[in-house]
């Protein structure tokens, strides 16, 4: 069986360290901006992918986040009246997730009513 030769195996540890140190010194945002941006983007994608994967399979996600998302989806699907906007500024005619509007809303009719309880649930 022929011996496999890699570029890394052609150098000793000290030579490889010196070579990589020299290449790192040549990198710079103003010297090689595309290389630096590419390396940063690659590292960011790897970091986010590993963290999203670890969080998505964590017990907190499995027992809290996913059930809450399922309940939210079911409530939007089966009870759309809960999310109905109020017809006027005093809060009448709206779903129970909308509270009464603030006092400034009664001064300015252009300002829409905001869901008060949705912010607490989110």
Would you give per-residue pLDDT tens digits along the chain (122 residues)? Answer: 445 555 546 778 888 888 889 988 888 888 888 999 999 999 999 999 999 999 999 999 999 999 999 998 998 899 888 877 766 665 566 677 665 554 444 444 555 555 555 444 44
98 burial class (0-12, 13-18, 19+ CB within 10 angstroms)? buried
The whole-number pLDDT of residue 67 equals: 95
* Distance spanning both ends of the chain, measured CA to CA: 61
The whole-number pLDDT of residue 80 equals: 84
The whole-number pLDDT of residue 63 equals: 95
Q: Which two tokens stand for residue 40?
A: 């940063």
The whole-number pLDDT of residue 92 equals: 61
Alpha carbon distance 112, 45 (integer Å): 39
Q: Which pTM does this prediction carry? A: 0.50
The whole-number pLDDT of residue 69 equals: 94
């Amino acid at each position: 069986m022929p011996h496999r030769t890699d570029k890394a195996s052609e150098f000793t540890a000290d030579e490889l360290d010196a070579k990589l140190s020299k290449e790192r010194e040549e990198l710079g945002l103003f010297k090689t901006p595309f290389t630096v941006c590419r390396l940063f983007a690659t590292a960011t994608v790897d970091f986010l992918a590993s963290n999203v994967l670890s969080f998505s399979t964590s017990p907190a996600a499995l027992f809290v986040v996913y059930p809450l998302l399922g309940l939210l989806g079911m409530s939007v699907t089966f009870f759309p009246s809960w999310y109905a906007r109020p017809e006027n500024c005093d809060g009448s005619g709206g779903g129970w997730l909308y509270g009464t509007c603030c006092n400034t809303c009664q001064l300015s009719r252009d300002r829409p009513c905001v869901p008060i309880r949705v912010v607490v649930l989110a």
